[in-house]
């Protein structure tokens, strides 16, 4: 199972509510918090929606 580690690099303050909901869906809600998530197309799509707030730190095979 492949996993990716994502880090929140932007604040959701003054952002649209759908972006805040996407961050919560990824399990992120505070600056510089990291999460290890399963590498699926849905997770990749959520990350692609927030390129200004989320960064991929590491990809594990």
Whole-angstrom CA distances from 11 to 39, 49, 59, 61 are 23, 15, 23, 29
- 54 pLDDT band (50/70/90 cuts)? very high
Q: What is the pLDDT of residue 1?
A: 83
Q: Which domains, and CATH codes, for the chain?
A: 3-60 (3.30.1390.20)
Q: What is the pTM of this model?
A: 0.91
DSSP-based three-state secondary structure for 15: coil
Q: What is the pLDDT of residue 8?
A: 98
Query: DSSP letter at 30?
Result: S
pLDDT in tens, 10-45: 999 999 999 999 999 999 999 999 999 999 999 999
**14-22: long-range contacts, CB 8 A cutoff, minimum separation 24:** 15/53, 19/49, 19/50, 19/53, 22/46, 22/49, 22/50
- 61 pLDDT band (50/70/90 cuts)? confident
């Amino acid at each position: 199972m492949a996993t990716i580690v994502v880090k929140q690099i932007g604040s959701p303050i003054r952002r649209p509510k759908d972006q805040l909901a996407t961050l919560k869906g990824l399990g992120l809600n505070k600056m510089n918090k990291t999460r290890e998530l399963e590498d699926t197309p849905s997770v990749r799509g959520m990350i692609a929606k927030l390129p200004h707030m989320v960064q991929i730190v590491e990809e594990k095979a």
